[in-house]
A and B are shown apart, each in its own frame.
Chain A
Amino acid sequence: MAEGVTFTRAFAALQKAIGIAQKRHELISGNISNVDTPDYRAKDIDFKTAMAHALESEDSLRLARTSEAHMGPNGDGVNGVNGPGPVQETGEWNGYNWVQIDREMVRLMENNMRYRTATELLLRKIAILKEVIREGGR
């Protein structure tokens, strides 16, 4: 993403947060649809770890890659999600599979809150930009 005075790092961070929340939503929805699948293992991403991962890889990319011969930070994509993201198998064996429906439903909602928070922050950031454009054009 372009960086400078207008598009600050906050945009990049929020973009990543939304990306991770989206990916998590997919995984949790998958878990819920497989609530009756025998031996199914629930999957999830630890939001905090994924976020730290995404930000860290971006940082080290900018700081350390002074030569083409340098290796990438973690071998995966800058986004941390599009690469081989840190998807973990979670859940507890319930005698049938590894999905606990109440846990998954709550996680779905928790993730939804994260998504809404990130989009809200993004909207407000854009509102500030709009304000600057409007006031500056007078």
Chain B
Amino acid sequence: MITQETSTLVSILDPLRGAFYDTREPPDCLSDLNLDQLIETVTGPKQDYTLKPYFWSPLENTEAIRYRQEVMKDLERPSLLSRIKEFAEKMSVVHRYLRMVEKLDYPYHRKGWILEGILLYTEAVETLCGALQHEPIRSEGFLSFRGWLEKYFTSEEFQYLSAEARRLKESLASLRYCVLIDGGKVKVKRYEGEADYSVEVENTFEKFRQGQVESYLIKYPERTGMNHVEGKILELVAKLYPTPFAELDAFVSSREQFLDPTLLAFEREIQFYISYLDLILELKQKGYPFCYPALSATDKDTFVREGFDLTLAATLLKEGKVVVRNDFSLSGAERVLVVTGPNQGGKTTFARMVGQLHYLASLGLPVPGREARLFLVDRIFTHFERREEVATHRGKLEDDLLRIHAMLLQASPRSLFILNEIFTSTTLQDAVFLSKKIITQLLEKDALCVWVTFLDELASLSEKTVSMVAQVDPADPTIRTFQVVRKPADGLSYALSLAHKYRLTYEQIRERLP
């Protein structure tokens, strides 16, 4: 178990604080599995947080995974989620102020906005701290963060920051000054109790109001920024009231970096969870199931019920369609799922789904499905036939083999292979030969694999292979159900089924002709 240290740094992403996530490149498998699209969708609205590196860094041990799953479970509670979102909203405004400050010219204008930033920041921290006290938190991640936050909040430094900022704001806001505008001349003096003239004029002319006359008041738009006239006036106001402005000077100049790094890290890291949650909540509303997988780093027994391709589900959502869910399992010596069946039948989608589930699980996220038991893989290798690239026949085969060979060299018994329709453009003889060789090597490695192929014989190679077949409608083989089920390969190829439908198999023709 991870012990809670009393240091000031905690991370909501990792029990071992200080874990680095500066992965610059996505893992290779992401584009074949369409996870790059998914990550794009998830991180798109949150550009400012630079979340991709988190999604590019799978975890390597089950404790870290459990840590994240627990945090996610806490976050799925709407009240906590909304509080965190509130906090994030305020922080983003603080950042906006600070960005704006860089473009301002007048010193007291700048300092005024820095003060606003500090005020909002301290308010956000205070509110979050209070909110977390009332939330029933169970995850270690949140518990340690809450503990840290409390310490931060109650620290002398922070309390002073907050109280002094407020005091300064009040004292500045209580200032009132007079501006006399006479042609091009401006005089500034302290306010000394001059009465509101508008009210007096209004009262005098009240009796001339009968019936409804439209008001002449026009709406003044909110002005942003300060011009040279106002800047000058502000300067003079500072002269009129030197004390509060001097205090502002002193306060701000020593606190240009008032944002706590641990809090900033939290602000960013929590968005990893929130951005993913936003996506799956939408899908949950449409009835898709999600679950927290049980992960093992040692036991390769696998079981998934009602899994589905998350990227496809998100895409189809916009069109109002749903994606089909499938089950699969591996037990005992089983290692390779061999998937056969008609073209466009959902085999590739199924293969992607398996890859996605393992990857997302290794990020510590809830996965698409009703129930899942998965092995924690160390790496996912994918090879998807790319039909668009038409190199010469022989050149392509060589490239493919080189790639697969490289993958096998790098693989470990804890790796996962997703092979989709390889060797389709070579001769049948070669395909059979090569496939058998490759699968043997895979089985020796004891790696996990999903292999989509047209070669039925692979499916029944040994007790380590599992045959899965994409189903068609028994009444009409042209209709795909996209269900992939565990059963022996058909033997009957799709093409022949079609022929059968049109009564063009050999026997049928013989019968038909006289």
Asked if chains A and B come from one complex, the reply is no
B: which residues have CB within 8 A of A? Answer: none
